Structure 1
Amino acid sequence: MNTCEQPFSIEFSQWLRRALERGVPMSVRAFAFNLFELTNIDNAKFGVEIVGAGKFDQTDSDWACNEVWEPIDRVLRIPIIFSGDAWDDCLLAIRSLLRTLLEIDDDMTRVLKSREGVGIGFVDGDLHIVWCR
């Protein structure tokens, strides 16, 4: 099934599940979802990537810069129909989706919650903590 035939929330969940199923080293203390603007991509203005950080600090968002892990499929394009045209709408949509997924008790969320925290934000912008111990 391609992107046009399924909601982005399902595509996001499947992308994240694939990333985490391949294993995450114990050196990862937190996960960061980085949002960024794309150029010259049809039907997608923004993208999201997941990385694992070797440190976590709720008071210092630079923890997300300490990358120690990335999945093989690091980046996912976000369709404009989901993200909208504005960066703040995109942030709200992906943050809401991530919060919803974190409420589900399954293998994917257990991996995310097995570490100290999960954050989301635009590259070179503010990092928002979505979940932490």
Structure 2
Amino acid sequence: MKDDILNWIDNIQQIDGIPPKEIIAFNFGVFEDENGYSIYLVGSFEYDENDDDWACLELPAQVHRYFKLPNKFANVDWEHVLDAVSKVFKELQKEGEFDIPLFENAIAITTGFDDGDLIKIR
């Protein structure tokens, strides 16, 4: 799954280019739909480590901003999905995989379910 997520992020960067320097935070939102779980990526002009509402942004309209999680997650509880996803993102951060132009100005990278608490990756 880690390689697939890296390819997805690379694809976003190739299609969208480098975001404006004013985009200072990114959130990998996780959600459940009728086919299992997916992730989307949004950027924000603001960030508040004490208030997760900064990540309440309009969902992306572009299909390439969404990543369908593998089917093995389709019938597991959301806590397990969030744990697995956050571990992958933390590994990618630790390995330097987020040191790319897309995240160049990011003071924060988080993940979490839309109505839940965010987990800080950076």
TM bucket normalised to smaller = 0.7 to 0.9
Letter in 2 for 1:38: D
Q: In the alignment, which of 81, 89, 92 is matched to residue 72 of structure 2?
A: 81
- In structure 2, the gaps of 5 or more residues are none
Measured in 1, the distance between the counterparts of 2:72 and 2:87 equals: 15
SS of residue in 1 equivalent to 2:95: coil
Structure 2: distance between partners of 1:120 and 1:105: 17
Counterpart of 2:8 in structure 1 is 15
Q: Which runs of 4+ in 1 moved over 3 A?
A: 69-72
Partner of residue 3, structure 1: none
Q: Report the TM-score, using the length of structure 2 for normalisation.
A: 0.84
Q: Decide which moves more: 84-93 or 48-57.
A: 84-93
SS, match of residue 9 in structure 2: helix
Assess if the C-alpha contact under 8 Å between 1:36 and 1:47 holds in 2: yes
Aligned 1:65-80 pairs, distance under 5 A: 65-66=56-57, 73-80=64-71
Within 5 Å, which residues of 2 pair with 1:19-58?
A: 19-21=12-14, 22-39=17-34, 41=35, 45-58=36-49
C-alpha deviation, 1:127, in angstroms: 1.2
Higher relative contact order (CA 8 A, sep 6+): 2
Structure 1 Cα separation of the partners of residues 120 and 104 of structure 2: 13
Q: Percent identity?
A: 25
Q: Which structure dedicates a bigger proportion of its chain to strand?
A: 1
AA paired with 1:109? D
Higher mean Cα deviation, 55-64 or 22-31?
22-31
Q: Secondary structure at the match of 2:110?
A: strand
Contact 2:42-2:57 within 8 A present in 1 as well: no
Q: Distance in 1 between matches of 2:114 and 2:120?
A: 14
Q: RMSD value over aligned CA atoms?
A: 2.4
| Distance (whole Å) between structure 2 residues aligned to residue 127 and residue 83 of structure 1 | 21
**1:126 is the counterpart of 2:117:** yes
d(CA) in 1 for partners of 2:104, 2:61: 17
TM-score when scaled to structure 1? Answer: 0.77
Alpha-carbon distance between aligned partners in 2 of 1:71 and 1:34, rounded to the nearest angstrom: 14
